[in-house]
Amino acid sequence: MVMAAPAGRVRANTSVDDNDSIDRRARMSVAYYAAAPHEIDARLQELDREWDVERVLEANASTLALSGILLGIGVSRKFLVIPALVAAFLLQHAVQGWCPPLPLLRRLGVRTRREIDAEKYALKALRGDFDRVDQRDPPSARAAQALAGAAGDQRTNHRAPLRRPVGRRGRRE
């Protein structure tokens, strides 16, 4: 049995409006940083710390399951239904890419790792890490080039070939 990548399953199980909202915020972010390149490094650090939807689901599920177990031991055995439900939701998410908390998390703007990485990739292209984005173009054109490179060719599901330039130490970084 071949399954789609988790990010693909999450997007497929998210409303079009929520996906569009998340994509729009990423495009606006890249456009902003195209005009303010001196702030890109700070944004990349923020993106490194951003939790993706999988991590948020796992942390919430662990918290709920542990709470249910503790309440089941200390208060009433009826609370043991909580970890059972949480385990079922996690299994459902692993198999189908959907679970009850997912629509709420996506509406709140929690992104997949692939969505976070696409913004990072576009920002790195804007910063000049790759030689596909012409740094002489105006910010809007650079933002469009960076987003196109980050999105890659949708028909082949591959990123556009952006080559890493030779770094300060004389090697590709």
Please, which residues bridge with residue 153 across strands?
158
What predicted TM-score, i.e. pTM, was given to this entire model? 0.75
Q: Is a pLDDT exceeding 70 seen at residue 101?
A: yes
H or E stretch including 47? helix 40-49
**What torsion do the CA atoms of 111, 39, 123, 51 make, to the nearest 10 degrees?**
-20
Q: Is a pLDDT exceeding 60 seen at residue 95?
A: yes
Q: Domain locations in the chain?
A: 1-50+111-152, 53-110
The closest of 62, 80, 82, 64 to 72, measured between CA atoms, is: 80
Tens of pLDDT, residue by residue over 58-93, are 999 999 999 999 999 999 999 999 999 999 999 998
Chain-centroid distance, C-alpha 69? 31
